[in-house]
């Protein structure tokens, strides 16, 4: 569950506690181009307030009107579909003739959202099952391979941190990367055995693991939902983590540094028990080439590359943009 959908659950509970009726919506299927992925959530209050998104626009407007007059899911779950006809697609501004199937359900104490939120905040992965006929809900421990499933009778949705990110190093760049990654629903672990970096770390909700990088990698039992990014610029620390991470099923392993430094790093790694194929998995210099210079820009570039890899998007080597000058608040491209 990404941070937007987590806010949907929190808001639904807050509205329920405040005496409001609310309707929870979950995308269960898309055809064509969908603005939001399957599993995305929205909650609409009885007076029309809305948090979350299933389309980013007009579908929410229609849902608001329906919820305000109790025309949908007033007493039990219900399926609604948008974009079946060309007229509907145009009305709701769905791209490329896209179609959305959404399960709507009334928010009740029996919805078990309190238990769901508590599990998510414990960093647990949870599968939630909604019976369409009775509205009954049950929760079960989730698995990394779980996905949203809907057969018309039972909706299975998956909640909690679906991805993990191990950052080696607790410097300034790591703080930006950790903060941004949390917003993208990564469970973040920061590893740095250096005492001086622990003293300057200011993210209370992301403690520093003082273990040695290779030990931390092994203890995390990395799987295909994990990423490792080495950011210390210290080969003694970065290489220790990479030696183990590159042998793991992690979907992304990257390291900061120049092309020359990473070429030298690959030569060092070849002296150990890594195959050529494992070394080739290293993404370094890490991050898409978007002209990043500052720590937050570099963090954006790293997360952009991670996101592309996560979604199977093939991105060729990007050309660095021309340098830009600044004059009276305007960017001026320099030839």
DSSP-H helix ranges across 69-188: 86-91, 113-121, 172-183
Residue 334 confidence (pLDDT): 45
Residue 226 confidence (pLDDT): 93
Residue 323 confidence (pLDDT): 53
Residue 89 confidence (pLDDT): 55
10-residue block means of pLDDT along the chain (335 residues)?
80 96 95 77 95 82 92 94 66 62 96 93 88 97 86 94 90 96 89 90 90 96 92 95 97 96 96 96 95 96 96 71 50 44
Residue 259 near residue 289, CB atoms below 8 Å: no
Residue 333 confidence (pLDDT): 44
How would DSSP label each residue in 190-239? EE---HHHHHT---TTSPEE-S-HHHHHHHHT--TTEEEEE-S--HHHHH
Rounded distance, CA 51 to CA 78, Å? 19
Task: Enumerate the β-bridge partners of residue 158.
Answer: 127
> By CB neighbour count within 10 A (0-12 exposed, 13-18 middle, 19+ buried), where does 34 fall?
buried
- pTM of this structure: 0.67
Domains of the chain: 3-159 (no CATH), 163-310 (3.40.50.720)
């Amino acid at each position: 569950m990404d941070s937007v959908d987590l806010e949907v659950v929190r808001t639904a509970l807050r509205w329920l506690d405040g005496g409001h009726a609310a309707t929870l919506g979950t995308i269960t299927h898309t055809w064509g181009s969908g603005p939001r992925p399957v599993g995305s959530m929205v909650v609409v209050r009885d007076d029309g307030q809305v948090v979350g998104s299933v389309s980013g626009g007009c579908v929410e407007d229609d849902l608001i009107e329906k919820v305000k007059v109790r025309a949908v899911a007033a007493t039990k779950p219900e399926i609604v579909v948008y974009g079946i006809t060309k007229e509907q697609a145009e009305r709701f501004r769905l791209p490329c003739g896209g179609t959305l199937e959404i399960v709507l359900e009334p928010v009740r104490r029996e919805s078990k959202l309190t238990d769901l939120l508590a599990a998510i905040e414990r960093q647990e992965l949870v599968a939630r099952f909604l019976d369409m006929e009775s509205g009954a809900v049950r929760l079960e421990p989730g698995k990394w391979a779980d996905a949203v499933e809907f057969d018309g009778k039972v909706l299975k949705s998956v909640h909690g941190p679906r991805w993990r990110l191990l950052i080696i190093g607790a410097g300034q760049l790591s703080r930006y990367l950790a903060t941004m990654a949390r917003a993208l629903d990564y469970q973040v672990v920061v590893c740095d055995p250096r005492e001086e970096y622990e003293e300057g770390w200011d993210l209370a909700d992301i403690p520093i693991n003082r273990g040695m990088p290779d030990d931390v990698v092994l203890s995390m039992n990395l799987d295909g939902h994990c990423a490792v990014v080495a950011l210390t610029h210290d080969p003694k620390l970065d290489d220790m983590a990479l030696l183990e991470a590159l042998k793991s099923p992690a979907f992304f392993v990257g390291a900061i540094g120049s092309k020359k430094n990473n070429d030298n790093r690959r030569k060092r790694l070849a002296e150990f028990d890594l195959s050529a194929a494992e070394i080739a998995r290293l993404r370094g210099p890490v991050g898409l080439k978007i002209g990043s210079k500052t720590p937050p820009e570099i963090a954006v570039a790293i997360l952009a590359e991670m996101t592309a890899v996560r979604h199977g998007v093939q991105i060729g080597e990007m050309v660095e943009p021309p340098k830009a000058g600044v004059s009276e608040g305007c960017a001026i491209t320099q030839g």
